[in-house]
Amino acid sequence: MKDNYSVKQLSRLAGVSVRTLHLYDRMGLLKPLARTAAGYRQYGHQELLRLQQILFYRELDFPLKDILDILEDPAFDLKEALEGHRKALLARKDRIDTLVSTIDKTLVTLKNNDMLQVEDLYEGIPNEKVEAYRNEAMAKWGKDTVLSAEATLRSFSREEMKSLQTELLDINTRLSVMMGTDPTSAPVQQCIARRFEIILLLSGGKIEMGKLEYFRKLGELYVQDNRYTPVNGMPSMELALFMKAAMDYYIAQQP
Protein backbone atom coordinates (compact mmCIF):
# COMPACT_ATOMS: atom_id res chain seq x y z
CA MET A 1 0.00 0.00 0.00
CA LYS A 2 1.25 3.45 -0.85
CA ASP A 3 2.52 5.42 2.15
CA ASN A 4 1.25 8.90 1.32
CA TYR A 5 -1.40 10.42 -0.92
CA SER A 6 -1.80 13.96 -2.15
CA VAL A 7 -5.21 15.59 -1.84
CA LYS A 8 -5.85 15.02 -5.56
CA GLN A 9 -4.87 11.36 -5.33
CA LEU A 10 -7.11 10.85 -2.30
CA SER A 11 -9.92 12.65 -4.10
CA ARG A 12 -9.74 10.26 -7.05
CA LEU A 13 -9.34 7.21 -4.80
CA ALA A 14 -12.32 7.97 -2.55
CA GLY A 15 -14.57 9.57 -5.16
CA VAL A 16 -14.93 12.87 -3.33
CA SER A 17 -14.02 16.34 -4.52
CA VAL A 18 -10.87 18.19 -3.49
CA ARG A 19 -13.13 20.95 -2.19
CA THR A 20 -14.83 18.44 0.12
CA LEU A 21 -11.48 17.27 1.50
CA HIS A 22 -10.51 20.89 2.12
CA LEU A 23 -13.79 21.38 4.00
CA TYR A 24 -13.15 18.29 6.14
CA ASP A 25 -9.71 19.69 6.97
CA ARG A 26 -11.11 23.09 8.04
CA MET A 27 -13.72 21.38 10.22
CA GLY A 28 -11.12 19.18 11.89
CA LEU A 29 -12.98 16.16 10.52
CA LEU A 30 -10.07 14.87 8.42
CA LYS A 31 -6.70 16.47 9.03
CA PRO A 32 -3.82 15.55 6.70
CA LEU A 33 -0.96 13.49 8.09
CA ALA A 34 1.51 16.18 7.10
CA ARG A 35 2.19 18.97 4.63
CA THR A 36 5.02 19.21 2.15
CA ALA A 37 7.52 22.05 2.19
CA ALA A 38 5.31 23.76 -0.37
CA GLY A 39 2.28 23.42 1.92
CA TYR A 40 0.49 20.60 0.06
CA ARG A 41 -1.58 18.15 2.11
CA GLN A 42 -0.37 14.55 2.49
CA TYR A 43 -2.58 11.71 3.76
CA GLY A 44 -1.53 8.34 5.18
CA HIS A 45 -3.19 4.99 5.99
CA GLN A 46 -4.95 6.17 9.16
CA GLU A 47 -6.45 9.12 7.28
CA LEU A 48 -7.77 6.73 4.63
CA LEU A 49 -9.48 4.66 7.33
CA ARG A 50 -10.95 7.78 8.92
CA LEU A 51 -12.23 8.99 5.54
CA GLN A 52 -13.87 5.61 5.01
CA GLN A 53 -15.73 6.08 8.30
CA ILE A 54 -16.80 9.59 7.31
CA LEU A 55 -18.18 8.35 3.98
CA PHE A 56 -20.05 5.48 5.66
CA TYR A 57 -21.73 7.89 8.08
CA ARG A 58 -22.52 10.28 5.22
CA GLU A 59 -24.15 7.40 3.33
CA LEU A 60 -26.41 7.02 6.38
CA ASP A 61 -27.23 10.76 6.21
CA PHE A 62 -25.41 11.81 9.38
CA PRO A 63 -24.65 15.56 9.56
CA LEU A 64 -20.95 16.39 9.43
CA LYS A 65 -20.95 17.84 12.97
CA ASP A 66 -22.46 14.62 14.33
CA ILE A 67 -19.82 12.57 12.50
CA LEU A 68 -17.10 14.70 14.09
CA ASP A 69 -18.60 14.16 17.54
CA ILE A 70 -18.76 10.39 16.97
CA LEU A 71 -15.21 10.03 15.64
CA GLU A 72 -13.78 12.20 18.41
CA ASP A 73 -15.62 10.27 21.12
CA PRO A 74 -12.97 8.50 23.28
CA ALA A 75 -15.18 5.41 23.27
CA PHE A 76 -15.16 5.16 19.47
CA ASP A 77 -13.98 1.74 18.30
CA LEU A 78 -13.21 1.19 14.60
CA LYS A 79 -14.04 -2.52 14.56
CA GLU A 80 -17.37 -1.97 16.32
CA ALA A 81 -18.12 0.90 13.94
CA LEU A 82 -17.48 -1.27 10.88
CA GLU A 83 -19.71 -4.02 12.26
CA GLY A 84 -22.38 -1.41 12.93
CA HIS A 85 -22.07 0.00 9.41
CA ARG A 86 -22.49 -3.47 7.92
CA LYS A 87 -25.65 -4.13 9.95
CA ALA A 88 -27.04 -0.71 9.14
CA LEU A 89 -26.44 -1.04 5.41
CA LEU A 90 -28.03 -4.50 5.35
CA ALA A 91 -30.99 -3.11 7.30
CA ARG A 92 -31.27 -0.26 4.79
CA LYS A 93 -31.27 -2.76 1.93
CA ASP A 94 -34.05 -4.76 3.60
CA ARG A 95 -35.99 -1.56 4.29
CA ILE A 96 -35.70 -0.42 0.67
CA ASP A 97 -37.00 -3.80 -0.49
CA THR A 98 -39.90 -3.47 1.95
CA LEU A 99 -40.64 0.10 0.83
CA VAL A 100 -40.76 -0.95 -2.82
CA SER A 101 -43.26 -3.64 -1.89
CA THR A 102 -45.24 -1.12 0.18
CA ILE A 103 -45.34 1.34 -2.71
CA ASP A 104 -46.74 -1.36 -4.96
CA LYS A 105 -49.45 -2.18 -2.43
CA THR A 106 -50.19 1.48 -1.75
CA LEU A 107 -50.69 2.24 -5.45
CA VAL A 108 -53.35 -0.44 -5.53
CA THR A 109 -54.90 0.72 -2.25
CA LEU A 110 -55.16 4.36 -3.33
CA LYS A 111 -57.63 3.30 -6.00
CA ASN A 112 -59.92 2.13 -3.21
CA ASN A 113 -59.68 3.36 0.39
CA ASP A 114 -56.71 5.26 1.84
CA MET A 115 -57.58 4.78 5.52
CA LEU A 116 -55.81 2.22 7.67
CA GLN A 117 -57.63 -0.90 8.78
CA VAL A 118 -57.05 -2.62 12.13
CA GLU A 119 -54.96 -5.36 10.50
CA ASP A 120 -52.63 -2.70 9.07
CA LEU A 121 -51.67 -1.70 12.61
CA TYR A 122 -50.13 -5.12 13.18
CA GLU A 123 -48.31 -5.54 9.88
CA GLY A 124 -45.24 -7.72 10.32
CA ILE A 125 -46.75 -9.74 13.18
CA PRO A 126 -47.90 -13.29 12.28
CA ASN A 127 -51.70 -13.37 11.99
CA GLU A 128 -52.05 -16.06 14.64
CA LYS A 129 -50.34 -13.79 17.20
CA VAL A 130 -52.31 -10.61 16.55
CA GLU A 131 -55.36 -11.59 18.62
CA ALA A 132 -53.15 -12.89 21.43
CA TYR A 133 -51.28 -9.56 21.55
CA ARG A 134 -54.52 -7.53 21.48
CA ASN A 135 -56.12 -9.66 24.20
CA GLU A 136 -53.02 -9.37 26.38
CA ALA A 137 -52.92 -5.60 25.90
CA MET A 138 -56.62 -5.30 26.74
CA ALA A 139 -56.10 -7.36 29.90
CA LYS A 140 -53.23 -5.06 30.98
CA TRP A 141 -54.58 -1.65 30.00
CA GLY A 142 -58.30 -2.18 29.38
CA LYS A 143 -60.30 -2.71 26.21
CA ASP A 144 -61.24 0.96 25.88
CA THR A 145 -57.58 2.04 26.06
CA VAL A 146 -56.53 -0.37 23.31
CA LEU A 147 -59.47 0.51 21.07
CA SER A 148 -58.78 4.22 21.61
CA ALA A 149 -55.11 3.74 20.70
CA GLU A 150 -56.06 1.81 17.59
CA ALA A 151 -58.56 4.50 16.62
CA THR A 152 -55.85 7.15 16.95
CA LEU A 153 -53.48 5.17 14.73
CA ARG A 154 -56.23 4.54 12.18
CA SER A 155 -56.75 8.29 11.87
CA PHE A 156 -53.47 8.41 9.94
CA SER A 157 -53.45 7.66 6.27
CA ARG A 158 -51.34 4.75 5.07
CA GLU A 159 -48.89 7.20 3.58
CA GLU A 160 -48.56 9.11 6.87
CA MET A 161 -48.13 5.91 8.88
CA LYS A 162 -45.53 4.50 6.51
CA SER A 163 -43.61 7.77 6.66
CA LEU A 164 -43.52 7.69 10.46
CA GLN A 165 -42.59 4.00 10.52
CA THR A 166 -39.79 4.64 8.04
CA GLU A 167 -38.48 7.50 10.18
CA LEU A 168 -38.54 5.31 13.30
CA LEU A 169 -36.61 2.61 11.45
CA ASP A 170 -34.12 5.21 10.25
CA ILE A 171 -33.63 6.37 13.85
CA ASN A 172 -33.05 2.76 14.89
CA THR A 173 -30.47 2.42 12.11
CA ARG A 174 -28.64 5.54 13.29
CA LEU A 175 -28.67 4.30 16.88
CA SER A 176 -27.39 0.87 15.86
CA VAL A 177 -24.46 2.54 14.13
CA MET A 178 -23.68 4.55 17.26
CA MET A 179 -23.78 1.58 19.65
CA GLY A 180 -20.54 1.52 21.57
CA THR A 181 -20.44 5.31 21.83
CA ASP A 182 -21.73 7.39 24.74
CA PRO A 183 -25.56 7.14 24.93
CA THR A 184 -25.60 10.66 26.43
CA SER A 185 -23.80 12.22 23.44
CA ALA A 186 -25.54 14.89 21.37
CA PRO A 187 -26.03 12.77 18.18
CA VAL A 188 -27.64 9.95 20.19
CA GLN A 189 -29.85 12.30 22.18
CA GLN A 190 -31.05 14.03 18.99
CA CYS A 191 -32.28 10.65 17.75
CA ILE A 192 -33.98 9.89 21.06
CA ALA A 193 -35.67 13.31 21.15
CA ARG A 194 -37.14 12.77 17.67
CA ARG A 195 -38.25 9.25 18.62
CA PHE A 196 -40.03 10.72 21.64
CA GLU A 197 -41.83 13.24 19.38
CA ILE A 198 -42.99 10.52 16.98
CA ILE A 199 -44.27 8.27 19.78
CA LEU A 200 -46.26 11.16 21.26
CA LEU A 201 -47.70 11.88 17.83
CA LEU A 202 -48.73 8.25 17.37
CA SER A 203 -50.34 8.20 20.82
CA GLY A 204 -52.58 11.14 19.94
CA GLY A 205 -51.78 12.71 23.31
CA LYS A 206 -53.82 10.05 25.13
CA ILE A 207 -51.20 9.03 27.72
CA GLU A 208 -52.77 9.10 31.16
CA MET A 209 -49.62 8.21 33.16
CA GLY A 210 -47.64 11.17 31.82
CA LYS A 211 -45.53 11.45 28.68
CA LEU A 212 -42.10 10.94 30.26
CA GLU A 213 -43.25 8.06 32.45
CA TYR A 214 -44.76 6.41 29.37
CA PHE A 215 -41.47 6.83 27.52
CA ARG A 216 -39.56 5.35 30.48
CA LYS A 217 -41.85 2.30 30.64
CA LEU A 218 -41.50 1.87 26.89
CA GLY A 219 -37.72 1.66 27.30
CA GLU A 220 -38.19 -0.98 30.01
CA LEU A 221 -40.56 -2.90 27.77
CA TYR A 222 -37.94 -3.13 25.00
CA VAL A 223 -35.56 -5.04 27.27
CA GLN A 224 -38.03 -6.94 29.47
CA ASP A 225 -40.17 -8.49 26.75
CA ASN A 226 -38.14 -9.63 23.75
CA ARG A 227 -41.27 -9.89 21.59
CA TYR A 228 -41.16 -6.12 21.32
CA THR A 229 -37.64 -6.14 19.90
CA PRO A 230 -38.48 -7.37 16.37
CA VAL A 231 -41.94 -5.80 16.44
CA ASN A 232 -40.42 -2.35 16.91
CA GLY A 233 -37.78 -2.87 14.26
CA MET A 234 -34.86 -3.40 16.64
CA PRO A 235 -32.44 -6.01 15.30
CA SER A 236 -30.95 -6.98 18.66
CA MET A 237 -31.30 -6.84 22.41
CA GLU A 238 -27.98 -4.96 22.41
CA LEU A 239 -29.70 -2.09 20.60
CA ALA A 240 -32.66 -2.26 23.00
CA LEU A 241 -30.30 -1.89 25.98
CA PHE A 242 -28.40 0.97 24.34
CA MET A 243 -31.68 2.71 23.49
CA LYS A 244 -33.00 2.30 27.04
CA ALA A 245 -29.84 3.90 28.47
CA ALA A 246 -30.20 6.81 26.05
CA MET A 247 -33.92 7.16 26.82
CA ASP A 248 -33.28 7.17 30.58
CA TYR A 249 -30.74 9.96 30.17
CA TYR A 250 -33.10 11.94 27.94
CA ILE A 251 -35.89 11.67 30.52
CA ALA A 252 -33.56 12.75 33.35
CA GLN A 253 -32.67 15.93 31.45
CA GLN A 254 -36.26 17.08 31.01
CA PRO A 255 -37.62 19.79 33.33
**What does the pLDDT read at residue 21?**
94
Sort 26 into a burial class: Cβ within 10 Å, 0-12 / 13-18 / 19+.
Answer: exposed
CA distance 208 to 200: 12
Q: Where are the domains of the chain?
A: 5-59, 78-116+156-253
**What is the pTM assigned to this prediction?**
0.53
Angle subtended by helix axes 211-224 and 237-253, to nearest 10? 160
**What does the pLDDT read at residue 14?**
86
State the Rg of the chain over Cα. Answer: 22
Q: Which has the closest alpha carbon to 243: 197, 179, 190? A: 179
Residue range 5-59 forms a domain whose CATH class is: mainly alpha
CB contact set of 80 (below 8 Å; sequence gap of 6+): 179, 180
**What does the pLDDT read at residue 89?**
75
| Per-residue tens of pLDDT for the chain, all 255 residues | 557 889 999 998 888 899 999 999 999 999 999 998 898 999 998 898 899 889 888 887 888 988 898 888 888 888 888 787 777 777 777 767 776 666 665 555 544 555 445 455 445 445 555 566 667 666 765 677 666 666 666 666 777 777 887 888 888 888 888 888 899 999 999 999 998 888 887 766 555 557 788 788 778 777 776 555 444 445 577 888 888 899 999 999 988
**What does the pLDDT read at residue 90?**
77
